[in-house]
Amino acid sequence: MNRHGLTFNSRKALMNNIGESAGTEIANLISEMAAEIDELRRTKVSVTKIVPNAEEIQSAAIQSRL
């Protein structure tokens, strides 16, 4: 399994500076967020524009007048 989150030294420094329970909570949150980001990257799909955006419509209208 791919390890997400902070290294042992980072966790230890965090716990020493803000307390064990808060440090553990933040480290776990970072780990969950890293796993979710990896999941989003893995399942990302390409988006194909099927409707031109407003800038493209405006540009085409200006060019048709010329």
Q: Could you read off the pLDDT of 7-56 as tens digits, one per residue?
A: 999 999 999 999 999 999 999 999 999 999 999 988 887 777 776 677 77
Element holding 62 (H helix, E strand): helix 54-65
3: confidence class by pLDDT, cuts 50, 70, 90: low
Can you give the pLDDT at residue 1?
Answer: 38
pLDDT of residue 44: 83
User: Could you report how far apart the first and last alpha carbons of the chain are, in Å?
Assistant: 61
Do residues 21 and 11 lie in contact, with contact meaning Cβ atoms separated by under 8 Å? no
Does the global pTM surpass 0.85?
Answer: no
Residue ranges of the domains in the chain?
8-65
Q: How much is the pLDDT for 50?
A: 72
Contact (CB, 8 A) for 6 and 34: no
